[in-house]
Amino acid sequence: MKKQRENSAPLKSDEVSSKPSGCEFEPYESLTLKDNFIFTKVMSDPANCRGFLLRAFPDLDIGKVTAVQESTHQTAYGSKGVRFDVYASDGSKIFDLEMQIVDKKDLPQRARYYNCTIDSDQLEKGEDYPVLKKVYIIFICTFPLPYGNLHKYTFRRYALEDKDTALNDGTELIFYTTKGTADDLDSSMQHFLDYIDSVPASHIPDAYITQLDESVRNAKMKPDWRRQYMDLKMWLQDQTFLLLQKRTEEVTAEVTEEVSKKVKAEEKADVISRMLSNHYTDEQILVIADITQDELDQYKASHKI
**Chain segment 3-43, per-residue pLDDT in tens:** 443 433 333 333 333 333 344 567 888 899 999 999 999 99
Q: Does the residue 178 lie in any domain?
A: yes
Q: Does the residue 139 lie in any domain?
A: yes
Residues 298 and 153 in one domain: no
Q: Does the residue 242 lie in any domain?
A: no
Give tens-digit pLDDT for 126-143. Answer: 889 999 999 999 999 999
Residues 131 and 273 in one domain: no
Residues 155 and 271 in one domain: no
Q: Does the residue 250 lie in any domain?
A: no
- State how many domains the chain has: 2
3-state secondary structure of 143: coil
Q: Which of 221, 239, 270 is the last residue of a domain?
A: 221
Q: How many CA atoms lie within 13 A of 256 on its CB side?
A: 6
- Is it the case that residue 251 has pLDDT exceeding 90? no
Positive/negative CA dihedral, 137, 4, 105, 20: negative
Q: Does the residue 226 lie in any domain?
A: no
Positive/negative CA dihedral, 65, 70, 71, 73: positive
Q: Does the residue 191 lie in any domain?
A: yes
Percent of the chain with pLDDT over 70: 85
Per-residue pLDDT at 75: 60
Residues 144 and 277 in one domain: no
Give tens-digit pLDDT for 76-130. Answer: 555 677 889 999 999 999 999 999 999 999 999 999 999 999 998 888 878 899 9
Residue 87 is part of which domain span?
Answer: 28-221
- Is it the case that residue 52 has pLDDT exceeding 90? yes
pTM for this model (two decimals):
0.70
- Is it the case that residue 1 has pLDDT exceeding 60? no
Residues 35 and 162 in one domain: yes
- Is 296 or 254 the better-scoring residue by pLDDT? 296
Per-residue pLDDT at 44: 95
Rounded Cα gap, residues 305 and 298, in angstroms: 10
Give tens-digit pLDDT for 229-245. Answer: 887 777 676 677 777 77
Rounded Cα gap, residues 87 and 38, in angstroms: 15
Per-residue pLDDT at 79: 66
How many CB atoms are closer than 10 A to CB 191? 23
